[in-house]
Amino acid sequence: MRQQTVLERITDRLQETKTPCKLYKTEQAAEKVGHKTAKMAAEYFSANEPMLFSVVSIPSINKYAVTFNITELLSRPETSNGYLGICGDHFTY
């Protein structure tokens, strides 16, 4: 069975709820939040580098979402324990 892409997962969730995750009107706004949140989460988990993130265009609603790779962040040897919901309502994987 093929795994859904992030875009497919967010699009499916849009059919269930109006706001499946935080959404932004512009790519630049999403990118700005991505950098800020990636740095904040890395500092929270004592990581040396910001968390990896991507900005995803959601064409069906003409908005953008920021997706964070929290699994990669937590697999780093230097990270410490903490609250997994640190990224709030953003899409994490």
Q: Per-residue pLDDT tens for 5-24?
A: 989 989 998 889 888 899 99
* pLDDT tens column, 25-48: 999 999 999 999 999 999 999 999
Let me know if residue 1 belongs to a domain: no
Residues in Cβ contact with 68 at an 8 Å cutoff, skipping those fewer than 6 apart: 34, 37, 38, 41, 51, 52, 53, 87, 90, 91, 92, 93
pLDDT tops 90 at residue 93: no
Q: Considering the domain boundaries, does residue 82 fall inside one?
A: yes
Question: Which pTM was predicted?
Answer: 0.84
CA distance 47 to 11: 31
| Domain extent for 56 | 6-92
pLDDT (tens digit per residue) in 51-89: 999 999 999 999 999 999 999 999 999 998 888 888 888
Predicted confidence at residue 49, as pLDDT, reads 95
Please state the domain count of the chain.
1
pLDDT given at position 39: 97
Looking at the domain assignment, is residue 57 inside a domain? Answer: yes
